[in-house]
Amino acid sequence: MKLPLITRSRHERELDAAQQATRRAEKELVAEKLRHALEIGGAEAANTRLAGRNRELSRRLDSAHDKELGELGDIAQLEERARLAEVHVRQLEKDVARLQARLDDAVGTPAGKPIRHSGPWQPGYKPKADA
């Protein structure tokens, strides 16, 4: 087999053209890597911002949840106090009714009936003179 013979100048031209094509491809590859790196950097920056925002919102949500739980505890405590106060009021109403019945018995007033004028049996009572 006979090898093709080419001149040195042709070889150098083809070599220069191949080297220029390689350099152009390398530049395009570097530019593409740079664009890709910038896109990734932008995405990472956005991701970092969003992660920070997410942490802040989570903290605020936890704070609101803790505050709400505290308020619910306060509400539950107030409801328990109100329930105990209602029980106490019912007990006081029973005591008032019992004491009123004892007073009615002691004074001689009929329970549940209107009270009559007590003047006649009071000491020192003098009927009013009609004018």
Q: Which residue has the tokens 């007033």?
A: 109
What is the maximum alpha-carbon separation in the chain? Answer: 165
Band (92; pLDDT cuts 50, 70, 90): very high
Q: List, for residues 40-56, the tens digit of each pLDDT value.
A: 888 888 888 888 899 99
Predicted TM-score (pTM) of the model is 0.37
Q: For the chain, what is the domain count? A: 1
Q: What is the pLDDT of residue 96?
A: 92
Note whether residue 119 is domain-resident. no
| Chain mean pLDDT for the chain | 84
Domain that includes residue 104, residue range: 11-108
Answer yes or no: is pLDDT of 85 > 80: yes
Note whether residue 6 is domain-resident. no
Question: How many angstroms separate the first and last alpha carbons of the chain?
Answer: 164
Note whether residue 117 is domain-resident. no
Q: What is the pLDDT of residue 121?
A: 72
